[in-house]
Amino acid sequence: MNNILVTGGAGFIGSWVCELLSKRHKVINIDNFDDYYDLSWKKTNVKKALENPNCTFFKADIRNFNKLREIFAENGFDGIIHLAARVGIRASAEDLLPYWDVNVKGVLNLLQLAREFNAKNFVFASSSSVYGINNKIPFSEADNVNNPIFPYAATKRARELMCYAYHHLYQLNVACLKLFTVCGPRGRPDMAPYKFTKLISAGKKIELYGDGTTKRAYTFIADIVSSIIAALGIKGCETINLGNNKPIELKYLISVIEDCIGKKAKVIQKPMQPGELLITWANIRKAKELLNYAPKVGVEEGVKMFWDWYRS
Ligand SMILES: NC(=O)c1ccc[n+]([C@@H]2O[C@H](COP(=O)([O-])OP(=O)(O)OC[C@H]3O[C@@H](n4cnc5c(N)ncnc54)[C@H](O)[C@@H]3O)[C@@H](O)[C@H]2O)c1
């Protein structure tokens, strides 16, 4: 049994990771309960994970080096799964500073402490947004990632570069996971599946930007959790897409939600938003090879799982 630090474990993806990981390892979950969305969700997530005595929670901010240092000194981690982040791609265009502070300074604190306390493995969540406007599909790990178009994406790219430097200098094993639009139970309220489900089920209008033909590689949480954990076994420094290789149109997603709920959406058509990507699509060959990743949940099943959770 190893000691693993999970950052951002009160959030959507982190809470799933803590629950699965604590079945076999000791997990220290840290999160600062940031106010990007309703705190009560995060508190419920933490409570659920704490049902397993292998899991411990500290309210801590990854920007607070001294507090982090105490936690490292007391626990001595074998590996780190770093999921804490200031999230929200579009919001980052309005207010960059918190993104820089949390996403860039925060990772530096963790890398410094990983080095000082001799943690061997560092897994962290990057994002498909790093690919920017990539005309080459599907998106492969070797593609150009030098033109992110939102500050959030630029901070994620900065993290990737910083992690590479620490790997090179101090032989830290690094897995940089590029996640593609993750959804499912506990999914974030700022993301399309949640927003549409909430509005359609309440009989309210939804805003549709563009004609609904933009495509996304929606990735269901149940498919990726074990691969995030498996990434603790990566040797060297690898960038790996964790996404879906069957992108679907936004209007198809809406129709699946309508069928699931049994109500038609009332759509307000809006012009496409600036910077909206026409498609995201993950090449998952490397994830299959290195992490045994094999997505199974189709969009119909994923939406049904989400709806069951939403209603409960
Ligand atoms: N959900 C997706 O579709 C998606 C896609 C690409 C990448 N990601 C990345 O995956 C990770 C998890 O995303 P999520 O969707 O679960 O988001 P989330 O907001 O639900 O989880 C992030 C957690 O980090 C915590 N946090 C924020 N700032 C912190 C700080 N300074 N110190 C400690 N904790 C802090 C938040 O309180 C939150 O609980 C993030 O790094 C995100 O950028 C997510």
Q: Domains (ranges, CATH) in the chain?
A: 3-184+219-245+281-295 (3.40.50.720)
Is 99 catalytic? The answer is no
Does position 11 have pLDDT exceeding 90, yes or no?
yes
Q: Whose CA is nearest to atom 13 of ligand 1?
A: 13
Q: What is the mean pLDDT of residues 40-48?
A: 96
Over the stretch 171-225, which tens digit does the pLDDT of each residue have? 999 999 999 999 999 999 999 999 999 999 999 999 999 999 999 999 999 999 9
Cα of 167 to ligand 1 centre, how many Å?
23
Q: Quick one: pLDDT at residue 45?
A: 97
Residue 161 Cα, ligand 1 centroid: separation in angstroms? 19
Q: Write the pLDDT tens digit of every residue in 97-151.
A: 999 999 999 999 999 999 999 999 999 999 999 999 888 999 999 999 999 999 9
Which residues does a 6 A CB cutoff place in the pocket of ligand 1?
7-8, 10-14, 31-34, 36, 42, 61-63, 83-87, 102, 106, 125, 127, 179, 181-182, 188
Q: Determine the distance separating the centroid of ligand 1 and the alpha carbon of 175, expressed in angstroms.
A: 17
Q: Which of 5, 87, 109 for mutating ligand 1's site (highest number of atoms within 8 Å of CB)?
A: 87
> What's the pLDDT score for residue 277?
87
Q: Looking at the DSSP assignment, which residues form a beta bridge with residue 56?
A: 28
Nearest-CA residue for atom 2 of ligand 1: 182
Digit-coded pLDDT (tens) for 138-184: 999 999 999 999 999 999 999 999 999 999 999 999 999 999 999 99
Q: Which pLDDT score, from 0 to 100, does residue 183 have? A: 96
Question: Is the model's pLDDT at 44 over the cut of 90?
Answer: yes
**Type of residue found at 19:** E
Give residue 134's pLDDT.
Answer: 85
Which residue minimizes the CA distance to atom 32 of ligand 1? 61
Q: How far is the CA of 9 from the centre of ligand 1 (A)?
A: 8
Q: Give residue for tokens 């690919």.
A: 131
Measured from the Cβ of residue 308, the count of other Cβ atoms closer than 10 Å reads 11
- pLDDT value of residue 219: 96
Q: How much distance in Å is there from the Cα of 3 to the middle of ligand 1?
A: 21
pTM score of the predicted model: 0.97
pLDDT, residue 275, reads: 83
Closest residue (by CA) to atom 21 of ligand 1? 11
Is 67 a residue whose pLDDT tops 90? yes
Q: Residue 33 above 80 pLDDT? A: yes
Q: Cα 203 vs. chain centroid, distance in angstroms?
A: 30
**Residue closest by Cα to atom 19 of ligand 1:** 11
Q: What is the pLDDT of residues 248-307, one digit of tens each?
A: 999 999 999 999 999 999 999 999 998 888 999 999 999 999 999 999 999 999 999 999
- Could you say which of 37, 99, 131, 152 is catalytic? 152
- HEC per residue, the chain: CCEEEEECCCCHHHHHHHHHHCCCCEEEEEECCCCCCCHHHHHHHHHHHCCCCCEEEEECCCCCHHHHHHHHHHHCCCEEEECCCCCCCCHHHHCCHHHHHHHHHHHHHHHHHHHHCCCCEEEEEEEHHHHCCCCCCCECCCCCCCCCCCHHHHHHHHHHHHHHHHHHHHCCEEEEEEECCEECCCCCCCCHHHHHHHHHHCCCEEEEECCCCCEECCEEHHHHHHHHHHHHHCCCEEEEEECCCCCEEHHHHHHHHHHHHCCCCEEEEECCCCCCCCECCECCHHHHHHHCCCCCCCHHHHHHHHHHHHHC
Instruction: Tell me the best of 12, 65, 90 to mutate to test the pocket of ligand 1, counting ligand atoms within 8 Å of each CB and taking the most.
Output: 12
pLDDT digits (tens, 9 = 90+) for 55-64: 999 999 999 9
Query: Relative to the CA of 126, which ligand 1 atom is closest?
Result: 7
75-95: pLDDT as tens digits: 999 999 999 999 999 999 999
Residue 309 has pLDDT above 80, yes or no: yes
